Amino acid sequence: METYLLAGGLVIALLAAFTDVRSGRIPNRLAYGALLLGLAVRTFVGGWGGLFEGLLGALICGGIFLVFFVIGGMGAGDVKLMAAIGCWAGIRQGLVTVLATAIAGGILAVAYMVFYRRGSDTFRNMGSLMRFHLTSGLRTHPEINIKSSGAIKIPYAVAILIGTVYSMGLHLLR
């Protein structure tokens, strides 16, 4: 992976995290613009192989996050951002980024749970969600989802930034 791809992914993740913390949203123009720019850069530098690597990175990383969007646990902006980061990172680094992001997101969720003193609610909801998904499949729970009035909104782009920084740092240390 080239340094400019590392820098591009980091800049995008940083902009998205700043925007998400500030407004609670990741604008489509940022996510789609980042994806299109990543595809253009990869194609310009790597030809068809670069385009293919970027597309697969976007599809795999975005696809993993899409599952969480479908079940109501994440916003669409997070999915689009992860797809864009996957495009810049490529398949291998993209998967490392997804894993690091999931770990960072879990830590962030626990921190929010403790800060807002919602531990008992969270564990009760987790049990309800597991029962629901085991009996109803992967679909959004009608009451327990990110659109619920009592849901704690976590700026997940921060976790994506942390995962991206970690993944890219690992790559640079190799």
Are the beta carbons of 174 and 1 closer than 8 angstroms? Answer: no
With DSSP H G I counted as helix, E B as strand and the rest as coil, what are the percentages for the chain, rounded to 5?
A: 80, 0, 20
Report the C-alpha gap between 160 and 21 in whole angstroms: 12
pLDDT in 10s for each residue of the chain, 174 residues:
677 888 899 999 999 999 999 999 999 999 999 999 999 999 999 999 999 999 999 999 999 999 999 988 899 999 999 999 999 999 999 999 999 999 999 999 899 889 888 777 777 777 777 787 788 887 877 777 677 777 788 999 999 999 999 998 998 888
Report the C-alpha gap between 13 and 17 in whole angstroms: 6
